[in-house]
Amino acid sequence: MPRSESSLLSSLRAAIPAAVLLEDDAAIAPLLTDHRRLYQGRALAVALPRSTEEVSTLLAWCNVQRVGVVPQGGNTSYCGGATPDESGTQLVVCLARMRRIRTVDAANFSMTVEAGCTLAEVQQAAAAAERYFPLELGSAGSCQIGGNLATNAGGLNVLRFGMARALTLGIEAVLADGRVYTHLRALRKDNTGYDLTGLMIGSEGTLGILTAATLKLWPQPRSTATAFVAVSDVAAAVALLAWLREAAGERINSFELLPRNAVELALRHIEGVANPLTGNHDWYVLCELSSFADEALDELLEAALADASAAGLVQDAALCTGERQRAQLWRLRENVPEAQRRAGPSLKHDISVPIAALSEFVAAASDWVRLHVPAGTLVAYGHAGDGNLHFNISFPKEMQATQVAELEPIVRRAIHDLVAAHGGSFSAEHGIGRLKVGALERYSSPVTLAMMREIKRALDPNGIMNPGKLLAAASTS
Q: Give the residues lining the site for ligand FAD (CB under 6 A).
A: 35, 70-78, 81-82, 95, 115, 137-139, 143-144, 146-148, 150-151, 153-155, 204-205, 209-210, 337, 429-430, 433, 466, 469
SS3 readout for 331-362:
HHHHCHHHHHHHHCCEECCEEECCHHHHHHHH
Q: Which residue's CB atom is positioned nearest to ligand 2HG? A: 337
Q: CB 137 → ligand 2HG: shortest distance, Å?
A: 7
Write the CA distances from 172 to 128, 198, 201, 214, 405, integer angstroms.
24, 12, 11, 9, 39
Give whole-number Cα distances, 373 to 237, 347, 368, 381, in Å. Answer: 26, 11, 8, 18
Q: Which does 348 bind (CB under 5 to 8 A by kind): ligand 2HG, ligand FAD, none?
A: ligand 2HG
Residues near ligand 2HG (CB under 6 A), total: 6
Residue number with CB closer to ligand 2HG (390 or 469): 390
Which H or E run includes 267? helix 260-269
Would you say 283 or 330 has its CB closer to ligand FAD?
A: 330
Residues 435-474 interacting with ligand 2HG (rule: CB under 6 A): none
- Angle (nearest 5°) at CA 472 between 467 and 473: 35
Residues ≥6 apart with Cβ < 8 Å to 362: 234, 380, 389, 391
The dihedral built from the CA positions of residue 76, 166, 357 and 156, taken in this order, carries a sign that is positive
Q: First CA to last CA across the chain, in angstroms?
A: 8
Taking the complex as a whole, the smallest distance from the CB of residue 135 to ligand FAD amounts, in Å, to 9
Torsion of CA 285, 331, 154, 46, to 10 degrees: -160
Tell me the C-alpha distance between 276 and 273, whole Å. Answer: 10
Q: How far is the CB of 42 from ligand FAD (least distance, A)?
A: 16
Q: Closest approach of Cβ 137 to ligand FAD, in Å?
A: 4
Site string for ligand 2HG, 343-362 (x = CB under 6 A): -----x--------------
Q: Any contact of residue 412 with ligand 2HG (CB under 6 A)? A: no
Q: How far is the CB of 126 from ligand 2HG (least distance, A)?
A: 22
- Interaction partner, residue 71 (ligand FAD, ligand 2HG, none; CB < 5-8 Å by kind): ligand FAD
Residues 19-38 that bind ligand 2HG (CB under 6 A): none
Smallest gap from Cβ 381 to ligand FAD, in A, equals 11
Interaction of residue 138 with ligand 2HG, rule CB under 6 A: yes
Query: Using CB distances below 5 to 8 A depending on partner kind, what does residue 390 bind out of ligand FAD, ligand 2HG, none?
Result: ligand 2HG
- Burial group, residue 455, by CB count within 10 angstroms (0-12, 13-18, 19+): middle
Instruction: State which residue has the least CB distance to ligand FAD.
Output: 147
In whole angstroms, give the CA distance from residue 101 to residue 78.
Answer: 27
Q: In degrees, to the nearest 5, what angle opens at C-alpha 21 toward C-alphas 20 and 27? A: 120
Our CB check for ligand FAD shows the closer of 47 and 305 to be 47
* Nearest distance in Å: CB 74, ligand FAD: 3
Q: Which is nearer to ligand 2HG, 119 or 174 (CB)?
A: 119
Least distance CB 141 / ligand FAD (angstroms): 9
Nearest to 262 by CA among 285, 287, 296, 295: 285
Q: Any contact of residue 392 with ligand 2HG (CB under 6 A)?
A: yes
How is residue 35 annotated by DSSP?
A: T
Which is nearer to ligand FAD, 121 or 412 (by Cβ)? 121
Q: In this structure, which amino acid lies at residue 231?
A: V
What is the phi/psi pair of residue 202, to 5°? 85, 5
376 binds ligand 2HG (CB under 6 A): no
**CA 24 to CA 116: how far, in whole Å?**
20
Q: Which listed residue (71, 337, 385, 387) binds ligand 2HG by CB under 6 A?
A: 337
Return the number of the residue (155 or 205) whose C-beta is nearest ligand 2HG.
155
Q: Is 157 in the site for ligand 2HG (CB under 6 A)?
A: no
Choice from 390, 422, 436, 469 touching ligand 2HG (CB under 6 A): 390
List 382, 387, 424, 468, residue binding ligand 2HG (CB under 6 A): 382
* Torsion angles phi and psi, residue 194, rounded to 5: -60, 150
Instruction: Please tell me the distance from the alpha carbon of residue 42 to that of residue 264, in angstroms, as a whole number.
Output: 38
Rounded to 5 degrees, φ, ψ at 208 are 165, 180
Query: What minimum distance in Å lies between the beta carbon of 312 and ligand FAD?
Result: 31
Q: Where are the beta strands (DSSP E) in 382-465?
A: 388-394
Nearer CB in complex with ligand FAD: 3/165:
165
CA separation for the pair 445, 448 (Å, rounded):
5
CA distance 393 to 90: 33
The mark string for 79-118 relative to ligand 2HG (x by CB under 6 A, - otherwise) is ----------------------------------------
* Residues near ligand 2HG, by CB under 6 A: 138, 337, 348, 382, 390, 392
